[in-house]
A and B are shown apart, each in its own frame.
Chain A
Amino acid sequence: MDGMREREQHEHMEGRHDHDDPAGDAKLQDGPMDLAAVRAKLESKTGKQYWRTLEELAGDPQFEELLHREFPRQAPSDWDNSVDRRDFLKLMAASLAFAGLSGCGRTPEQYLVPYVKQPDGLTLGRPQFYATAMPFGADAIGLLVESHEGRPTKIEGNPDHPSSLGATNVFAQASVLNLYDPDRAQTVTKFGEIQTWSLFVESAQALAAEMKGDGGARFRILSGIVTSPTLAGQIQSLLTTFPKAKWHQWEPAVGDGTREGAKLAFGSYLNTVYRPEKADVILSLDSDFLGSGPGHIPYAKKFSRRRKLNGPDDTMNRLYAVEPTPSVTGATADHRLPLRASEVELFARALAAKLGLGGSVTLPGGAEKWLDTVAKDLQEHKGVSLVAAGEQQPAEVHALAHAINAALGNVGTTLYYTEPVEAHPVNHLESLAELCADIEAGKVETLLILGGNPVYTAPHDFDFGSKIALDKTTKQKKVRTTIHVSSHFDETSELCDWHVAESHYLETWGDARAFDGTVGVIQPLIAPLYHTHSLRAVLAAFSDQSGVSDYDAVRANSEAMGQRLFPRSSPEPGSFERFWRKSLHDGVVAGSAFAPLAATLKFGPASLPTSKPAPANEMEFIFRPDPCVYDGRFANNGWLQELPKPVTKLTWDNAALVSPKTAEDLKVAHNVAWRGGEHGKVYSNVIDIRLSDSKVTAAAWIVPGQADDTVVLPLGYGRKRAGYTGTNKGFNAYAVRTSGALWAAFAPSSAIRKTGEEYPLACTQYHFNMEGRQILATGTLEEYRKNPNFANEHAELPPQELSLYNGEAEFPYHRDKWAMAIDLNKCNGCNACVVACQSENNIPVVGKEQVMRGREMHWIRIDRYYQKSVKSPTNDPSSYDVSLFNPPTFFQPVPCQQCENAPCEQVCPVGATVHSAEGLNDMVYNRCVGTRYCSNNCPYKVRRFNFLRFQDWETPQLKLLRNPEVTVRSRGVMEKCTYCVQRINDARIESEKLNAPIHDGAIVTACEQACPTEAIVFGNANDKDSRVAKLKAQQRNYTLLGELNTRPRTTYLAAVRNPNPELESA
């Protein structure tokens, strides 16, 4: 728990729902209503506070519910069209009669009233932290969520949770904005009309009663990956009730290759868990294990710990990456080979052959030397090497990776196998295909879609929309009843009969398994903001347990699990209560991780049928989840939309990614706009892509380091109904994605046609060349050992003794001297810090138009640079610039450098940016008049200006989101990174109360806390034992633009790569 802010236990969290809802209210919602009770209640209530206007009464959801029950025919959903006098009078009479009831519902807070009784553990103004977990694909990220007076405002990682180890990723950080998304679906609807939950439950019960007859033979459930034991249990119990019903699954951005590969290799579905901390040599076969997929946060953490250099004698692991398009993992790799996605399989086969596993394959181009070196390196590191296959790669690659790992003796050391994390692993493509076939065959009457957005994400040839939509010509529907449960009213909801608004994970009880099987309890931070329900509650509506609350279900499941995990013949009284509370507090159910399985390989690479060679002269189109909006589920999240993608630095759009040579062949180019320019707006050629009778129009974007003749089509954009933020952004790659070519499609280059149009893309960093300046110091391990001081060799540091000021002799920092060190050797550019900073510091989203003008507001940015003049690893003499073929990529997070000798401070005319006694460049927002002189004079350009009123001051939901400890800036004010001064002050107050110095690690900045690779370290430079002081004492430590004598408090540690000398000399 060191390094974490104080985490407080909320003992009474469990009972939260019950306390929130008055008993009578609960009755209204869940059970059949008792009118007599209501009348009795009414009579007992007097006084003016019960209602204010008739309109308000009429709009009250509780009241509407009553109306729908009392006048099922007279008050139809279109009552505002034709209300005759009698109806009107009845309604009005009812309004008056039920006037007193309006006091029972959830009404907006009207008065500022202090707590009469302070809740336990809560000190007003002090945040509380609760453990919960965010389910995400076949993983769940354990979180600690900061809560201010009942509002969750900030997501942090849970150090006790294996999927987090204290860090987070962009999705977890941004998920809190999803909670407050004003476009969220807010209630139950049927055919678009607002309904009540109890009406839905009644309908569900009626459906269930009807389905009982044939055992649910015409009942289908479609969900994404389910790792929640409780939810899976609920589905299973439903499937027991309806034995003929079927459960289908479709997760659009997770490939079946991982599952099927294990089946191919071991005969059954198995889960693979890596231990990168034990591997000296790692080969990624198109695997972005550091940037996406289950467990990537702990993988990145453990991987980067093996790249920690304290001195020239330290060793580093070595990462080889074979991939078609640069990923976070590839950019971090010591050696990277761009290969088309379809050639990765060839590479895996050739590697297996090299390692003596059978088969023989010739590799395209001149990759053989690369392969030989990698094979040799792997063989030299038996037992301490690791081969990871990518989520989007086919089963064969995964099976080969399993075989290679087994041959290298890595199983049990650098990786192990467990039973599947998914509750019910199936081949998703087959599962969805089966569902579509059943619908076509008329075998489905009721379809319950749990989450997801299949109309948008299903393969284009399945035409899922037509399966559930009303046929316009025949006026027939293939599925009689369709029910969609999702957080937003999206493309799928539009075509379904019923839509149930889904609760956010911060609003509901639940559980989920992490990548290693650990169960985390999802604990709500807030009662549902709207009339939303959990997936489990929707399922329960079809069962006889419709009244069971989520809390009880999760608790019961936990109890069962606890008994299984810790069997006791006669449990002592209260022992479960302790176990449950500990699980809630820790966020994990202790001991629930899956034990390693002994898996026997039933597969030899030689037995693989020769693969169908990829058409050599055709373009390859590959589909990848977007690094920011993923499969489209985050399309309406402004933080993620505005987040520059790690490698391309594009925001608000996806683009068809091509290599420089392919761009040349296709004659597509970029054109830097005059407004915004390199820091904002770049025009790109628009291309039409015609694949399998479908066409998509996309902007092309050139990515150095991508494999030639490969076009990457990122998924998740082009949403037609995502919400205010996400609708009609980018192009929809799903439109050309077919079931036959789910991850890679082939077509002749004539499938791409330049339209002649240009499309403006918002790119925050177009210039990727360092122009010979030492911005980002890099070297190899060998160079570092020879000359540990290489980073400072070329720096022209000005002599300090020439200064007129005596520096710190004149202005000493007696107590604390805050400083930051960023290890560029560890940073992989994942962006978690950027979103964490945005969330912590109330940083506004400005929109595409403003980003294109160079006005994005991120306080920390991640600069991406390419190193020049690098040989092509295939030694292919090509006509294009070799430096763009496969340039080594480096990332550099740039927050405010907090200069000792700050250029900004000297030029501010009003003293709005001043030096604090601890050496921070403080911004005084209410003193700032906005001359922007400070920004002009800042050599690092880390200052951000509110050119317009970027903050949303009206939307009530977003008001709940804000961190109350950070000022919400108005327009015309300069802002910048503060080193999270609110956290510093928090620690300062605590230390003064205790009259003790602030110990190292007591202050963790938001970026540091989110960072999965521990690249950012903050602390007191006066404390010689602090981590930051030790890092700064290293010879790798250098200052950015040191020659300017700004003397920044933020310093960098040079990036050191560990290339294989054999490949280097080639």
Chain B
Amino acid sequence: MSAGQPPFDSPEIRRLSPVIGPGYTYGSVTDKISAIVLTRPTSLGWYVGFLIAFSVMGMMTVAIGWLIIKGTGIWGINIPIGWGFAIVNFVWWIGIGHAGTLISAILFLLNQKWRTSINRFAEAMTLFAVACAGIFPLIHTGRPWLAFYMMPYPSTMGLWPQFRSPLIWDVFAVSTYGTVSLMFWFVGLIPDLATLRDRSIRKPLQIIYGLLSLGWRGSARHWHRYQSAYLLLAGLATPLVLSVHTVVSFDFAIAIVPGWHTTIFPPYFVAGAIYSGFAMVLTIAIPLRKAYALEDFITMRHLDNMAKVMLATGLIVAYGYFFEFFLSLYSGNKFDVFLVQQRLHGPYAPFYFALILSNILVPQLLWSYKVRHNVVVLFLMSIVVNIGMWLERFVIVVISLTRDFVPSAWGRYSPTFWDWATLIGTMGMFATLLFLFVRVLPAISIAEMRELVAETSEEEK
């Protein structure tokens, strides 16, 4: 750290708790993280948790199977509400999938050291969230087996997708984001996979990790190339963090539906995505550090920083809400003005107020140092924000559609059992993947932690 450091016992330094606990060496870091995968016996808790998550994912499989057998009519959608839970969930999951890449790429480029211990599982979470999100655009179509029509493939009919449609932009944005995130995550994993290969004592594991580590030997040349690749990928992923949700917001902003057709949507969606993404990272990090005693690696400093990011993005979102309202009223467009009235007084008004409460009012508590350092409150708050962000998408997608231009066509929406089963089922899938991830891969980057040990020990010298 710089020379102008405040005295050791000053409040500033007390607040800046370290990004890694004291007394760690290269060996102890490696031991501690690799032990979760290799040596520590799998706990009963893991089995129970995995079983529950897997059963919930099974429910999703049943729900999707039934959907393919019967058709989208098993959901609550109708005319005029053509998009329901499926699109709400898609936008929500994609939003959650923002934090990982943001932490890995943008904070990496900004040289924020505290990202190190959370980037691995945040990236994993991104991938899993994108996987969950990716299910929905596919299954929400009336004929999912023909969804490949949305890909530009050389068909004998010479047909292309209709490139003016934001849904096509979505296909490219989401698939690009998913691919780059996967590459970024995998490249970051290579040194750790090699560590696991070297440390595992069972032959099959050695072979699997050996194959995955792509012949990593830790030579200087390897490290050199690795770091260039990582940096390049970080540079590549950074604009994607901003572009994905911008493109997703175009699904709405391009349409003419009052409540969708707003130019503020791109920045507002990106902020919302980061907001919900960090909330989800907190939701996962807090139990994870507790379960695997990783408090020294994921310290209060991390939690504090994430809470601050949440507070900042939450304020941007609040700004978005305000201006959405203001612009609707200021425009004088009767349909937009009516929409504002509907949000406040319509049949779905309670949802709107619940959204304001959970996305704007409750997070204001994060101004308080005590709240930011109370792990339980932080955990609960992250869940409230997750729900709030889901409600936001519900309000935008569904409620805007219930009452648009022609009053004779107004309707209402309520989800069916299968809507819920699919939503909760994807949470099960998300949790299942996370359980598998912490069991078979190092949840914290060993290589980067070792780097951190080196850097902190240098500073102490």
CB proximity of A642 to chain B, nearest CB, Å: 15
Q: Is the interface of B mostly helix, strand, loop or mixed?
A: loop
Cβ 8 A contact of B79, one of A772, A903, A909, A943: A943
Which stretch (A256-264, A371-379, A587-595, A674-682) binds chain B? A674-682
Tell me which of B73, B146, B149, B164 has the highest count of chain A C-beta atoms within 10 A of its own C-beta. Answer: B73
B301: chain A residues within 8 A (beta carbon): none
Please provide the chain B residues from 288 to 326 with a CB less than 8 Å away from any CB of chain A in the complex.
none
**Whole-angstrom CA separation of A974 from B79 in the bound complex:** 11
Asked whether A941 and B404 contact (CB < 8 A) given A910-B161, A936-B257, the answer is: yes
Cβ 8 A contact of A678, one of B254, B411, B414: B411
**Whole-angstrom CA separation of A933 from B401 in the bound complex:** 11
**Whole-angstrom CA separation of A64 from B82 in the bound complex:** 55
Is A939 within 8 A of B256, CB to CB? Answer: yes
B150: chain A residues within 8 A (beta carbon): 909-910, 929
B146: chain A residues within 8 A (beta carbon): 929
Is A1041 located at the chain interface by the 8 A CB criterion? yes
**Contact indicator per residue, chain A 828-865, by CB within 8 Å of chain B (1) or not (0):** 00000000000000000000001001110000010111
| CB closest chain-A residue, reference B171 | A909
**Whole-angstrom CA separation of A903 from B73 in the bound complex:** 24
Is A974 within 8 A of B142, CB to CB? Answer: yes
B70: chain A residues within 8 A (beta carbon): 948
Is B62 located at the chain interface by the 8 A CB criterion? no
B402: chain A residues within 8 A (beta carbon): 677
Please provide the chain B residues from 48 to 99 with a CB less than 8 Å away from any CB of chain A in the complex.
70-74, 76-83
Is A933 within 8 A of B167, CB to CB? Answer: yes
A676: chain B residues within 8 A (beta carbon): 78, 411-412
Is A767 within 8 A of B165, CB to CB? Answer: no
B257: chain A residues within 8 A (beta carbon): 936-937
B79: chain A residues within 8 A (beta carbon): 679, 854-855, 935, 941, 943-945
| CB closest chain-B residue, reference A913 | B162
Is B412 within 8 A of A678, CB to CB? Answer: yes
Is A666 located at the chain interface by the 8 A CB criterion? no
Cβ 8 A contact of B82, one of A679, A765, A945, A1040: A945
CB proximity of B301 to chain A, nearest CB, Å: 45
Is A1041 within 8 A of B406, CB to CB? Answer: yes
**Whole-angstrom CA separation of A944 from B167 in the bound complex:** 20
CB proximity of B368 to chain A, nearest CB, Å: 39
CB proximity of B281 to chain A, nearest CB, Å: 31
Is B411 within 8 A of A1044, CB to CB? Answer: no
Asked whether A907 and B167 contact (CB < 8 A) given A971-B142, A972-B72, A972-B143, the answer is: yes
A1044: chain B residues within 8 A (beta carbon): 256, 405
CB proximity of B351 to chain A, nearest CB, Å: 12
| CB closest chain-B residue, reference A1041 | B405
Cβ 8 A contact of A675, one of B159, B168, B171, B412: B412
Is A947 located at the chain interface by the 8 A CB criterion? yes
Please provide the chain A residues from 733 to 773 with a CB less than 8 Å away from any CB of chain B in the complex.
765, 767-773
Cβ 8 A contact of B410, one of A679, A936, A973: A679
**Whole-angstrom CA separation of A910 from B257 in the bound complex:** 21
CB proximity of B167 to chain A, nearest CB, Å: 4
**Whole-angstrom CA separation of A855 from B168 in the bound complex:** 27
**Whole-angstrom CA separation of A676 from B84 in the bound complex:** 13
Is A910 within 8 A of B149, CB to CB? Answer: yes
A863: chain B residues within 8 A (beta carbon): 406, 408
**Whole-angstrom CA separation of A672 from B338 in the bound complex:** 20
Is A137 located at the chain interface by the 8 A CB criterion? no
Asked whether A930 and B142 contact (CB < 8 A) given A909-B162, A947-B77, the answer is: yes
Is A932 within 8 A of B82, CB to CB? Answer: yes
Is A909 within 8 A of B161, CB to CB? Answer: yes
Cβ 8 A contact of A674, one of B73, B80, B414: B414
A1040: chain B residues within 8 A (beta carbon): 406
| CB closest chain-B residue, reference A911 | B162
B412: chain A residues within 8 A (beta carbon): 672-680
| CB closest chain-A residue, reference B142 | A930
Tell me which of A673, A894, A947, A1044 has the highest count of chain B C-beta atoms within 10 A of its own C-beta. Answer: A947
Is A13 located at the chain interface by the 8 A CB criterion? no
Is B394 located at the chain interface by the 8 A CB criterion? no
| CB closest chain-A residue, reference B260 | A936
**Whole-angstrom CA separation of A775 from B335 in the bound complex:** 13
Is A680 within 8 A of B78, CB to CB? Answer: yes
Is B411 within 8 A of A854, CB to CB? Answer: yes
Is B380 located at the chain interface by the 8 A CB criterion? no
CB proximity of A741 to chain B, nearest CB, Å: 37
**Whole-angstrom CA separation of A948 from B66 in the bound complex:** 12
- Give the number of residues in B that approach A within 8 Å (Cβ atoms): 54
Is A939 within 8 A of B405, CB to CB? Answer: yes
CB proximity of B228 to chain A, nearest CB, Å: 38
Please provide the chain A residues from 19 to 36 with a CB less than 8 Å away from any CB of chain B in the complex.
none
A933: chain B residues within 8 A (beta carbon): 82-83, 165, 167, 251, 255
A865: chain B residues within 8 A (beta carbon): 407-408
CB proximity of B157 to chain A, nearest CB, Å: 9
Is B256 within 8 A of A947, CB to CB? Answer: no
**Whole-angstrom CA separation of A257 from B107 in the bound complex:** 88
Please provide the chain B residues from 242 to 283 with a CB less than 8 Å away from any CB of chain A in the complex.
251, 254-257
**Whole-angstrom CA separation of A910 from B405 in the bound complex:** 26
**Whole-angstrom CA separation of A973 from B72 in the bound complex:** 11
Is B377 located at the chain interface by the 8 A CB criterion? no
Is B393 located at the chain interface by the 8 A CB criterion? no
CB proximity of B222 to chain A, nearest CB, Å: 43
**Whole-angstrom CA separation of A928 from B145 in the bound complex:** 11
Asked whether A949 and B141 contact (CB < 8 A) given A775-B406, A1044-B405, the answer is: no
**Whole-angstrom CA separation of A167 from B83 in the bound complex:** 39
Cβ 8 A contact of B161, one of A674, A911, A930, A949: A911
**Whole-angstrom CA separation of A634 from B79 in the bound complex:** 28
B159: chain A residues within 8 A (beta carbon): 910-911, 927
Please provide the chain A residues from 759 to 810 with a CB less than 8 Å away from any CB of chain B in the complex.
765, 767-773, 775
Cβ 8 A contact of B411, one of A680, A770, A773, A907: A680
A911: chain B residues within 8 A (beta carbon): 159-162
Asked whether A936 and B82 contact (CB < 8 A) given A679-B409, A765-B408, the answer is: yes
Is B408 within 8 A of A894, CB to CB? Answer: yes
Is B217 located at the chain interface by the 8 A CB criterion? no
A853: chain B residues within 8 A (beta carbon): 73, 76, 78
Is B334 located at the chain interface by the 8 A CB criterion? yes
Is A947 within 8 A of B141, CB to CB? Answer: no
Is A198 located at the chain interface by the 8 A CB criterion? no
B405: chain A residues within 8 A (beta carbon): 773, 939-941, 1041, 1044
CB proximity of A320 to chain B, nearest CB, Å: 28
Is B166 located at the chain interface by the 8 A CB criterion? yes
CB proximity of A789 to chain B, nearest CB, Å: 21
**Whole-angstrom CA separation of A769 from B406 in the bound complex:** 10
Is A850 within 8 A of B161, CB to CB? Answer: no
B81: chain A residues within 8 A (beta carbon): 854
Is A946 located at the chain interface by the 8 A CB criterion? yes
Is A1034 located at the chain interface by the 8 A CB criterion? no
B401: chain A residues within 8 A (beta carbon): 936
Is B197 located at the chain interface by the 8 A CB criterion? no
Cβ 8 A contact of A677, one of B73, B83, B410: B410
Is B177 located at the chain interface by the 8 A CB criterion? no
**Given A677-B412, A855-B73, A944-B79, 12 other A-B residues pairs in contact with their CB atoms under 8 A:** A677-B411, A765-B408, A909-B168, A929-B149, A929-B150, A933-B255, A936-B255, A939-B405, A941-B406, A945-B79, A947-B142, A973-B143
Measured CB to CB, the residues of A under 8 A from B are 672-680, 765, 767-773, 775, 850, 853-855, 861, 863-865, 892, 894, 903, 906-911, 927-933, 935-937, 939-941, 943-949, 970-974, 1040-1041, 1044
6 contacts between A and B (CB under 8 A): A910-B161, A940-B406, A940-B409, A946-B71, A971-B143, A972-B71
In order of increasing CB-CB distance, the 7 nearest A-B pairs are: A930-B142, A677-B412, A972-B142, A947-B73, A679-B411, A932-B82, A854-B78
Measured CB to CB, the residues of B under 8 A from A are 70-74, 76-83, 140-144, 146-147, 149-150, 159-162, 164-168, 171, 251, 254-257, 334, 338, 347, 401-402, 404-414, 416
